[in-house]
Amino acid sequence: MSTGPGILAPVTALGAATLRLLGEMGALFLFLADGLRLIFASPKQIPKILNQVFVIGSKSLFVILLIGVFTGMVLGLQGYYTLVKFGSEGLLGAAVALSLIRELGPVLTAIMVTGRAGSSMAAEIGVMRITDQIDALDVMDINPMAYLVSPRIAASLISFPLLTAVFDVVGILGGYVTGVTLLGINEGVYFYRIQTSVEMADITGGFMKSLLFAVIVATVSCYQGYFTHMRRDGVGPEGVSNSTTSAVVLSCVFVLVADYALTSFLL
Amino acid sequence: MRATSGWDIRLDALAVGYGDHVVLHDVNALLPAGEISMIIGGSGCGKSTLLRHVLGLQRPMAGTLSVGGRDLFTLAGRDFRKVRRRMGVLFQDGALLGSLTLGDNVALPLREHTGLPKATIRQIVLHKLALVGLADYADYYPNQLSGGMRKRAGLARAIVMDPPILLCDEPTSGLDPVNAARMDHLLLDMQANFPGMTIVVVSHDLRSLDAIANYVLMLHDGTAAFAGPVDALRASDDPYVRSFLDRRVDEDQRTEVSLAPEVQQALDAWLER
B254 pLDDT band, cuts 50/70/90, is low
Mean pLDDT of A139-146: 93
Tell me the β-bridge partners of B201.
B38, B168
B170-220: pLDDT as tens digits: 888 888 888 888 889 888 988 888 888 999 999 888 888 888 989 999 988
Chain B residues in contact with A139 by the CB 8 A cut-off are 55-57, 84, 87, 89
All residues of chain A having their beta carbon less than 8 Å from the beta carbon of residue B85 are 140-141
Distance from CA of A133 to the nearest CA of B (A): 5
| HEC readout, chain A | CCCCHHHHHHHHHHHHHHHHHHHHHHHHHHHHHHHHHHHHCCCCHHHHHHHHHHHHHHHHHHHHHHHHHHHHHHHHHHHHHHHHHHCCHHHHHHHHHHHHHHHHHHHHHHHHHHHHHHHHHHHHHHHHHHCCHHHHHHHCCCCHHHHHHHHHHHHHHHHHHHHHHHHHHHHHHHHHHHHHHHCCCCHHHHHHHHHHHCCHHHHHHHHHHHHHHHHHHHHHHHHHHHCHHHCCCCCHHHHHHHHHHHHHHHHHHHHHHHHHHHHHHHC
Best A38, A42, A131 member to test B by mutation, with max B CBs in 10 Å, is: A131
In the prediction, which pLDDT does B248 show?
66
Choose the closest CB to B89 out of A128, A131, A136: A136
- Spatial contact of A185 and A90, defined as CB atoms under 8 Å apart: yes
- Model confidence over A206-216: pLDDT tens digits? 999 999 999 99
The pLDDT assigned to B120 comes to 95
Cβ–Cβ below 8 Å for A142 and B112: yes
> What pLDDT shows up at residue A5?
64
Is B201 within 8 Å of B90 (Cβ atoms)?
A: no
List the single residue in B with minimal CA-CA distance to A128. B97
Percent of chain A, pLDDT > 90? Answer: 82
Characterize the bridge pairing of strands B223-229 and B70-71.
unpaired
Q: Give the pLDDT confidence score for residue B258 in this predicted structure.
A: 82
Question: How much is the pLDDT for B4?
Answer: 47
Q: Are A190 and A137 in contact (CB under 8 A)?
A: no
* Type of residue numbered B225: A
Residue-wise pLDDT for B154-167, tens only, equals 999 999 998 999 99
Contact in structure between A113 and A56 (CB atoms under 8 Å): yes
pTM for the predicted model, two decimal places:
0.85
Q: Is the pLDDT of residue B3 over 50?
A: no
Alpha carbon of B7: minimum distance to chain A alpha carbons (Å): 17
Residue B82: closest CA among B32, B7, B11, B154: B7
Residue B222: the pLDDT is 87
B57 touches chain A (CB under 8 A): yes
Q: Which pLDDT tens digit goes with each residue over A166-175?
A: 999 999 999 9
B57, B97, B109 ranked by CB distance to A138: nearest:
B57
pLDDT at position B250, please? 64
- Report which secondary-structure segment, H or E, holds B125: helix B118-131
Cβ-Cβ contacts under 8 Å, A44 against chain B: 111-112
Q: Is some CB atom of chain A closer than 8 A to the CB atom of B147? A: no
Phi and psi at residue B64, in whole multiples of 5°? -125, 150
CA distance B146 to B156: 15
Q: Which of B55, B95, B112 sits opposite A44 (nearest CB)?
A: B112
Nearest-CA neighbor of B94 among B142, B50, B126?
Answer: B142
Contact A110, A210 (CB under 8 A): yes
Per-residue pLDDT tens over the stretch A2-53: 555 678 888 999 999 999 989 989 999 999 999 999 999 889 899 999 999 9
B99/A139 Cβ within 8 A: no
Nearest CA in chain A to B106: A140
Chain B hits for A142, CB-CB cut-off 8 Å, are 108-109, 112
Q: Nearest chain A Cα to B80, which residue?
A: A141
Closest C-alpha among A131, A119, A153 to residue A38: A153
Q: What is the mean pLDDT of chain A?
A: 92
Condensed to tens digits (0 to 9), the pLDDT of residues B87-102 reads 999 998 889 999 999 9
Q: Is the pLDDT of residue A235 over 50?
A: yes
Res. B2: pLDDT tops 50: no
pLDDT of amino acid B241:
84
- CA–CA gap between residue A155 and residue A117 (Å, rounded): 11
| Average pLDDT along chain B | 88
Q: Which of A44, A133, A141 comes nearest B95 by C-beta?
A: A133
Looking at beta carbons, which residues of chain A come within 8 Å of B109?
Answer: 140-142
Minimum-distance CB partner of B84 among A44, A133, A139? A139
Q: List Cβ neighbours of B115 (8 Å cut-off, separation of 6 or more).
A: none
Say whether residue B81 is in contact with chain A using an 8 A CB cutoff: yes
pLDDT of B149 > 60? The answer is yes
* Number of Cβ atoms within 10 Å of the Cβ of A207: 19
pLDDT digit string (tens) for B196-210? 899 999 988 888 888
CB contact (8 A) between residue A139 and residue B87: yes
Q: What is the mean pLDDT of residues B104-122?
A: 93
The verdict on B109 touching A (C-beta cutoff 8 Å) is yes
